[in-house]
Chain A
Amino acid sequence: MAGWPVLNTFRLTLVIAAKDVRAELRSRTALLSALVFAALVLVIFNFARDPTLVAATTLAPSVLWVTFALAAMVAMNRAFTVERENSALDGLLLAPVPREALFLGKLLANLAFVGAVELATLPLFTLFFNVSLWPALPGILGVTLLATIGFVAVGTIFSAMAVRTRFAELMLPVLLLPFMVPPLIGAVQVTSRLLAERPLSEMWGWLRLLALYDVVFVTLCALAFTAVVDE
Chain B
Amino acid sequence: MTGIAASSDIAGRTVRRGLRLSALGFVGLAAVYVLALRYTPIEARQGLAQKIFYLHVPAAWSALLAFSLVGLASVLYLWLKDIRLDRFAAASAEVGVAFSAIMLTTGPIWAKPIWGTWWTWDARLTLTLFLFFLFIGYLALRAAVQDPAERARFSAVVGILGMLLVPFIHLSVYLFRTLHPQPIVLKPSAPSLPPEMLRTLLVSTIVFTVLYVGFVTTRYGLALVADLREAEELPDGH
Footprint of B on A, CB under 8 Å?
A: 154, 157-158, 161, 164-167, 171, 174-175, 177-179, 181-182, 185-186, 189, 205-206, 209, 212-213, 216-217, 220-221, 224, 227-228, 231
Contact = CB atoms under 8 A, between A and B. Distances in A.
Interface of B: 78, 130, 133-134, 136-137, 140-141, 144-146, 149-150, 153-154, 156-158, 160-162, 164-165, 168-169, 171-173, 175-176, 179
The DSSP consensus for interface residues of chain B is helix
Nearest to B165: A179
A220 to B, nearest CB: 6
A165 B165 contact: no
Nearest to A153: B161
A156 to B, nearest CB: 12
B172 A209 contact: yes
Contacts of A186: 172
Contact of B172 (A166, A171, A182, A221): A182
A181 B169 contact: yes
A190 B164 CA distance: 23
A217 B133 contact: no
Contacts of B134: 178
Nearest to B151: A165
A189 B178 CA distance: 13
Contacts, number: 82
Contact of A178 (B130, B144, B175, B176): B130
Given A161-B154, A178-B133, A182-B172, A227 B78 contact: yes
B130 A175 contact: no
Contact of B164 (A171, A220, A227): A220
B43 to A, nearest CB: 34
A228 B78 CA distance: 11
Given A179-B165, A209-B171, A224-B78, 14 more contacts: A161-B141, A161-B145, A161-B157, A174-B136, A175-B158, A178-B137, A178-B165, A178-B169, A205-B175, A209-B172, A216-B164, A220-B161, A227-B78, A228-B154
Contacts of A158: 158
A224 B130 contact: no
A213 B168 contact: yes
Nearest to A185: B172
5 contacts: A161-B154, A165-B141, A175-B141, A189-B176, A209-B172
Nearest to A165: B144
A227 B133 contact: no
A63 B216 CA distance: 43
When A and B form their complex, which 8 residue pairs have the shortest distance between CB atoms, in order from nearest? A165-B144, A182-B168, A182-B172, A185-B172, A174-B137, A178-B134, A175-B137, A166-B144
